[in-house]
Structures are given as C-alpha cells and as structure tokens.
C-alpha cells in the first residue's frame, strides 16, 4: 500500500533520518505551541528571550550565533519580542549602530511563567520512551547535532556570541580522519 510505504528505487521515505527528524520537529513545535498557548510565544522567541536574559546586552548577531538562527529570522524575532514589550534595544556604547538587547520586567515575568510549560513540553516529547532510552536518545541526538553543526544554514556558535564579525566556519574532521593524519609519516604528507 502506498500510504504504508513510500519508496522510489531503494529509498524509503518514512525510514529516512532526515524525514523522521523533520517530523519529530513538527511534533515538538505542535506540543510546544499547545503547552505555551496562553503565553503567545514561539519556540524561537522563547530561545531568544531565554538567551537575552542569560546574556544581557547581546547584539542581534551574537543572539543569532547563540541560538543558531539565521540573521533575517533573528531580525523578525527581535522585532516581535520588542513589539510585545518583552525586550528593549539600546544603542551600543562604543558603536551607536549596534543595538544591544535587554529583557524587560514583562519579559522576565513571561519567562518565569512559561518555563514550567516548556519543561512539560520536553517531558512530553520524550514520554513515549523508557527512562534509559530517553538518556540514550538525548546523548545520540546531541552527538548528531554537534557533529553536523557546520552543515547548518545557521550553525550554533556560542563562543562567537560577543563577536560582531563573521568568520567562515572550519569543516570539522572526524576523529578517525584526524587520527589517520597523525599516524601518517610527515614525509608522506609532503609527497602527496
């Protein structure tokens, strides 16, 4: 039956990791929106607000690096948070063109109220798994995200959170490849 199994020449859509990850992300967003409905906040807005509270005075570029969001999306997120009076933008002391982001008392209040709903969402996402499976799943998920970070349109760059200049990312080479290079005699490396 077509609806049970979508295949095209040895490729099974419903078993593909990318498709399953996209579906899980849709489910996670749906659960988040249901649990946080009364707060009128999206997952990205929550991540931005949480990060601004943690690092007062971030600029938009630094915020984009911290939560791994592209610059055009972060501009819209910041505009919406400011329109809701959850954050303020203030000109930077050394560069007046740079706008620093600060959480407002209303933002702090919303964050304090929404955190239990966000935690409930995280619990709901993992609830179908047994406790040991949850730990294993989270460990593998973190590993996949970390090892594939540089392939993202907006890689997570927490160490660059305070930097304003864009620096091209280095492609991270796996442990096995690094070990192979270390084991190779230097004369062979020069000969290649």
- Whether the per-residue pLDDT at 55 is higher than 90: the answer is yes
- Say what the pLDDT of residue 167 is: 40
Q: Which of 12-16, 87-91, 112-116, 138-142 has the lowest mean pLDDT?
A: 12-16
pLDDT, one tens digit per residue, over 56-84 is 999 999 999 999 999 889 999 999 999 99
Alpha helices in the chain (DSSP H): 17-35, 43-54, 60-67, 71-83, 105-126, 131-148, 175-183, 186-191
All structural domains of the chain, each given as residue ranges with its CATH number in brackets, are 7-191 (1.10.10.10)
- Whether the per-residue pLDDT at 171 is higher than 70: the answer is no
Answer whether 68's CB lies under 8 Å from 44's CB.
no
């Amino acid at each position: 039956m077509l609806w049970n199994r979508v295949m095209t020449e040895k490729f099974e859509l419903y078993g593909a990791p990318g498709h399953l990850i996209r579906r899980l992300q849709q489910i996670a967003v749906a659960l988040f929106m249901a649990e946080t409905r009364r707060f009128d906040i999206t997952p990205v807005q929550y991540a931005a607000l949480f990060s601004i509270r943690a690092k007062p005075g971030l600029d938009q570029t630094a915020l984009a690096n911290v939560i791994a969001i592209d610059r055009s999306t972060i501009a819209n997120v910041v505009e919406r948070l400011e329109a809701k009076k959850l954050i303020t933008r203030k000109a930077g002391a050394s560069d007046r063109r740079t706008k620093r982001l600060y959480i407002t008392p209303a933002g702090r209040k919303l964050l304090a109220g929404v955190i239990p709903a966000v935690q409930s969402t995280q619990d709901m996402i993992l609830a179908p798994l047994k406790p040991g499976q949850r730990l294993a799943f989270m460990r593998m998920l973190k590993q996949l995200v970390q090892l594939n970070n540089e392939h993202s349109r907006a890689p997570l760059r927490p160490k660059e959170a305070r930097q304003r200049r864009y620096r091209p990312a280095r492609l991270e080479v796996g442990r096995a490849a690094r070990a192979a290079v270390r084991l190779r005699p230097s004369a062979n490396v020069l000969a290649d």
